[in-house]
């Protein structure tokens, strides 16, 4: 939150919320985090994804959009839908250099508070049991 402003989350608070959701280990932890963020004026959702990296990109973006819309994180407007799509694509793209040609699996966190929207991706990257781990984040400014 901005200094002296307890009602409007700032870009760091919203980004941190998205990252914490992406890092959550269970649905119970997600639910608790969502309640905590709601008290701070941040709406958030998490969604799982996985598969071969390149084909998974579009599916992961779509899942992030659908979940954010379904859970009321964003409104059903072109601007909000596009912001989630763009941030999710950017976050997935940040994994590209290490994930191309390999499998990925993890969680996407989407958070919105005030004029800030963030998408974070936490994923295993690898082949069979030889996994690497990646985390990425993207932010967009959108109207409330």
Provide the CATH number for the domain around residue 16: 3.40.1510.10
Region of 133 (left: φ > 0; alpha: ψ -120 to 50; beta: rest) is beta
Alpha carbon 123 to chain centroid, angstroms: 12
Number of domains in the chain: 1
- Any domain includes 5: no
Q: How far apart are alpha carbons 39 and 115 in whole angstroms?
A: 17
Nearest-angstrom CA–CA distance, 75 and 10: 19
Each residue of 65-84: pLDDT tens digit?
Answer: 999 999 999 999 999 999 99
Q: Report how far residue 82's alpha carbon sits from residue 101's, in angstroms, rounded to the nearest whole number.
A: 27
- For residue 2, being part of any structural domain is answered with no
- Structural domain contains residue 112: yes
Q: What is the pLDDT of residues 101-127, one digit of tens each?
A: 899 999 999 999 999 999 999 999 998
pLDDT band at 2 (very low <50, low <70, confident <90, very high): very low
Residue 132 is assigned to a structural domain of this protein: yes
Quick check: is 6 in a domain?
no
Find the domain containing 35 and state its range: 11-141
Query: For residue 46, is it within any domain?
Result: yes
Q: Which pLDDT tens digit goes with each residue over 20-34?
A: 999 999 999 999 999
pTM of the predicted protein model: 0.91
């Amino acid at each position: 939150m901005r200094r002296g402003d307890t009602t409007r989350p700032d870009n760091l608070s919203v980004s941190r919320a998205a990252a914490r959701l992406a890092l959550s280990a269970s649905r119970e932890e997600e639910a608790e985090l969502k309640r905590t963020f709601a008290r701070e004026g941040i709406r958030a959702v998490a969604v799982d994804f996985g598969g071969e990296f390149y084909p998974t990109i579009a599916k992961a973006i779509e899942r992030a959009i659908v979940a954010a819309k379904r859970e009321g994180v964003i409104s059903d407007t072109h601007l909000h839908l596009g912001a989630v799509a763009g941030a999710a694509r950017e976050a997935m793209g940040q994994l590209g250099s290490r994930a191309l040609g390999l499998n990925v699996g993890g969680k996407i966190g989407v958070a919105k508070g005030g004029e800030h929207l963030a998408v974070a991706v936490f994923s295993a990257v690898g082949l069979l049991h030889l996994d690497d781990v990646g985390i990425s984040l993207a932010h967009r400014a959108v109207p409330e």
